[in-house]
Amino acid sequence: MRALCWHGKHDVRVEEVPDPQILNPRDAIVRITTTAICGSDLHLYDGYIPTLEVGDILGHEFMGEVVETGKAVTNLKKGDRVVVPFTISCGTCFFCARQMSSLCDNSNPSAKKNEALNGYATAGLFGYSHLYGGYAGGQAEFVRVPFADVGPLKVPQGLPDEKVLFLSDILPTGYMAAENCNIQPGDTVAVWGCGPVGQFAIRSALMLGAERVLAIDSVPERLNLAQEAGAETINEEGDGDAFEEIRDRTGGMGPDACIDAVGMEAHGTTMDARYDKVKQSLKLTMDRSHVLRQAIHVCRKGGTVSVPGVYAGMIDKFPFGTAFAKGLTFKMGQTHVHKYMRPLLEKIAEGKIDPSVVISHRLSLEEGPEGYDTFLKKQDGCTKIVLKP
């Protein structure tokens, strides 16, 4: 089959690789009909996630048609149309039983590496390095789906791929980020990063009852999308220091909750941001956390900082004293996708949210490498790329 493989920093290639096989009774093989490039794939493309190996197949947002099932998979059959969560989860361990599927104890076969870093290993992920199990991803013609009896969600024929594909990651991720803000009537939520996860965080915050959402970014296309959703926008470059701007727009009090939908590769022109960039380029730190610092600084006292953006290591100059002084609550982590897929599918079917609004580019799998480059450089009005094998 054809698959998009990682070869190093800014080097991905579509190559001929062996077809996936059923390895365990709970596996299924899915023929991919639509897949996408995620903002977090750019961390792999930029070479910031350790333990990738040359030839690893990328991609964790995908859907398609079941073509083969293992003996223990009784809920799916050949021909079923499914969307697959990016987190791989067993469905029965301590964490899965408590709906914390991204913390599954049984799905990461290279748990030792992850344990060495984090103390305890977290769930395996599709196409996201050997820290997360080294599973082949879905930017390919076919993929092996482990624990297929608990992960994949069957989707009704009436809904096109583009409306349901993002149930695999970014829609639940944006939703969980907003849910983590514990939104109360009258609340103002500030969202940094108006990429796809930010867009869904904005829409979810409004769905969950936020009175105002402030959206912060510097890319005009993204700010337009945020505005269309009902957010008030702040152009980080145009409007000067976002701190002053946000403080002034919230009556001097600060937002009730702040969402960092940017993560470890934050840009910025302030002193701390430039320092991070130099350190990260020298591999002295793994994260550039400018946005997180700003969120902590501007959040109202007693507020919540919610972090759906990916972080991978130690954070430099983390203003813990400020967080302590202000009594902030932090919520974060990989998304518990399994928990959110079904209720969000209902919202899509009811027309309450249309995730396809973020798609700007539709390419073939063969055009994937150009897609990564375009997405990285945010060229050509690029907000989200889907690939069709």
User: Which C-beta is closer to Zn ion: that of 87 or that of 180?
Assistant: 87
Minimal distance, residue 104 CB to Zn ion, in Å = 3
Among 169, 245, 260, 265, binds Zn ion (CB under 5 A): 169
Q: Are 127 and 138 in contact (CB under 8 A)?
A: yes
Task: Please count the helices (runs of H) and the strands (runs of E) in the chain.
Answer: 13, 17
Q: Could you give the string, one character per residue 118-157, with x where binding to Zn ion holds by CB under 5 A and - elsewhere?
A: ----------------------------------------
Which listed range, 39-47, 223-231, 299-307, 373-381, lies at the site for Zn ion (CB under 5 A)?
39-47
Minimal distance, residue 107 CB to Zn ion, in Å = 6
C-alpha pair distances (Å), 120 with each of 80, 325, 340: 35, 30, 24
Minimal distance, residue 40 CB to Zn ion, in Å = 5
User: Which C-beta is closer to Zn ion: that of 38 or that of 246?
Assistant: 38
d(CA 321, CA 61): 38
Minimal distance, residue 310 CB to Zn ion, in Å = 9
Q: Please give the residues from 72 up to 101 whose contact with Zn ion meets the rule CB under 5 A.
A: 89-90, 93, 96
Q: Please give the residues from 214 up to 273 whose contact with Zn ion meets the rule CB under 5 A.
A: none
Beta strands at 257-260 and 304-307: parallel, antiparallel or unpaired:
parallel
Q: Are 208 and 187 in contact (CB under 8 A)?
A: no
Which listed range, 130-138, 143-151, 167-175, 220-228, lies at the site for Zn ion (CB under 5 A)?
167-175
Which residues are within 8 A (CB) of 83 and not within 5 positions of it... i.e. 6 or more apart?
62, 63, 152, 153, 155, 164, 165, 167, 168, 341
Minimal distance, residue 197 CB to Zn ion, in Å = 8
Query: Tokens 């937002």 correspond to what residue?
Result: 255
330: part of which helix (H) or strand (E)?
Answer: strand 329-332
How many CB atoms sit inside 10 A of residue 236's CB?
20
Q: Are 61 and 38 in contact (CB under 8 A)?
A: yes
Among 29, 38, 49, 82, binds Zn ion (CB under 5 A): 38
Q: Which two tokens stand for residue 79?
A: 């021909």
User: Which C-beta is closer to Zn ion: that of 124 or that of 134?
Assistant: 124
Helical packing angle, 290-298 and 271-281, nearest 10°: 150
Which listed range, 34-42, 44-52, 242-250, 367-375, lies at the site for Zn ion (CB under 5 A)?
34-42
For CA atoms 78, 84, 86, 88, give the dihedral sign.
negative
User: Which C-beta is closer to Zn ion: that of 150 or that of 295?
Assistant: 150
Count of residues in contact with Zn ion, rule CB under 5 A: 9
Q: Are 16 and 47 in contact (CB under 8 A)?
A: no
Minimal distance, residue 369 CB to Zn ion, in Å = 18
Query: Tokens 């480059």 correspond to what residue?
Result: 373
Minimal distance, residue 296 CB to Zn ion, in Å = 25
User: Which C-beta is closer to Zn ion: that of 104 or that of 315?
Assistant: 104
User: Which C-beta is closer to Zn ion: that of 96 or that of 234?
Assistant: 96
d(CA 63, CA 89): 17
The residue sitting closest to Zn ion, measured at its beta carbon, is: 38
Among 14, 104, 181, 214, binds Zn ion (CB under 5 A): 104
Minimal distance, residue 382 CB to Zn ion, in Å = 16
Binding positions for Zn ion, rule: CB under 5 A? 38, 40, 89-90, 93, 96, 104, 106, 169
